Amino acid sequence: MAGKTIAMILAGGKGTRLEYLTKKTAKPAVSFAAKYRIIDFPLSNCANSGINIVGVCTQYESTELDQYLGNGEKWGLNGVRSLMGTLAPRQTEDGANWYKGTADAIYQNYDFINDLNPEHVLILSGDHIYRQRYDHMIALHEATNADVTISVIEVPLKEASRFGIMNVDNTDKIVEFQEKPKKPKSNLASMGIYVFKWSVLKEYLKNDAKDENSDHDFGKNIIPNMLNDGKKLQAYRFKGYWRDVGTLASLHEANMDIATDGREFDFYSGDLKEVIYTEDTSSVPQYIGPEASIVRTIANQGAIILGHVDTCVISNEVLIEEDAVCTRCVIMANAKIKRGAKIHNAIIAPGVVIKPNAEINLGSDEIVLISK
């Protein structure tokens, strides 16, 4: 099943809600959980699902991401079994060279996909944190003979208006799609993960490209058009940890989930090997000073902790000096927290130096980003 499928990862959004973190770095290349990048998750899901041909559609500030991806060898996507294609947008006749939407990103890479002649195309986002066996989803897609299968997750009904909502019958066939409805009829939210029959999708992409009034978006255009045309849309119910980390608050929350209860998102599972590629940049283990205290904290190799940390995620080469106190902080690579500084509910960008005795965000429930 998976062998007849290629995956396309959408990794080209500006990511402006992550502010300084994406000023020079594509959002999928942003650090997560001390020693990973966000894009590690969909890539490793592909590798663990037997999907060896992966195209990554990049756009804004993609240099670092391109270098990180390489040929896909880090995730077992290498050699004769696979291809890692990093696909930038083509320049159009009007001089524009940005993807116009999610569907346009796939359409602009039509030849790349069509030359491979897949039976199915799996569309993924490059900025979600989750573990999923896509081959299980593809199996349902084939068993139900669906034209498109959409991965959905149950969300609290009070939050459903933030998502694309699927209304289904008793076989989980999708009968109605609501894009961010004010009064949602269900709590089945689209995760932005789609398996399409390529023979069907290719025609919708061609027609959408000709439509000057289209947003060229899967959620706004392609999927509603398929539903209106009577195509078979199937829901695949995902049960597990999933987070969209497109905002500072959600990125911080997901890191805190890992720090406080790693069992909720276990990096190891019975039928999976290590879920994600580990980017250990130092062979030196963490050093914890004799006067240091650590509670509910993840620290990567090369970190030196001499102060006090509670519920933190600490990347490689971080230095936390004596008497510094960090609570609920995400501290990225090469940051330095000087003696006596106190910081709460913060994301500290790579390379930032916090001055001695600084007091930042103490007692606040808001998340702050500290950048250079």
Mean of the per-residue pLDDT values of the chain: 86
- What does the DSSP 8-state code read for residue 275? S
pLDDT for residue 68:
80
CB-neighbour burial class of residue 231 (10 A; exposed 0-12, middle 13-18, buried 19+): middle
pLDDT surpassing 90 at residue 268: no
pLDDT surpassing 50 at residue 83: no
Question: For the chain, what are the domain ranges?
Answer: 2-265, 287-370
More confident residue, 341 or 99: 341
Q: To the nearest whole percent, how much of the chain has pLDDT over 70?
A: 85
- Write out the CATH class of domain 287-370: mainly beta
Contact 299, 352 (CB under 8 A): no
CB-neighbour burial class of residue 16 (10 A; exposed 0-12, middle 13-18, buried 19+): exposed
pLDDT for residue 262:
59
Q: How far apart are CA 189 and CA 236, in angstroms?
A: 11
pLDDT surpassing 70 at residue 72: yes
Ranges 88-92, 315-319, 320-324: which has the least confidence: 88-92
Arithmetic mean of pLDDT, 289-306: 92
Q: Which three-class secondary structure state does DSSP give residue 317?
A: coil
* pLDDT band at residue 254 under the 50/70/90 scheme: very high
Q: Which three-class secondary structure state does DSSP give residue 159?
A: helix
* pLDDT band at residue 142 under the 50/70/90 scheme: very high
Residue 344 CA to its chain's centroid (Å): 25
Taken in order 50, 51, 52, 56, is the CA torsion positive or negative?
negative
Query: What H or E segment, with its residue span, contains residue 205?
Result: helix 198-210
Ranges 91-100, 173-182, 286-295, 307-316: which has the least confidence: 91-100
Pick 2-265's CATH classification: 3.40.50.1010, 3.90.550.10, 3.40.50.2000, 3.40.1640.10: 3.90.550.10
The closest of 168, 156, 171, 163 to 193, measured between CA atoms, is 163
pLDDT for residue 67:
81
pTM for the full predicted model: 0.87
Q: Please give the backbone phi and psi of residue 234, each rounded to the nearest 5 degrees, phi first.
A: -115, 140
Ranges 5-14, 60-69, 218-227: which has the least confidence: 60-69
Count of CB atoms situated within 10 Å of the CB of 213: 5
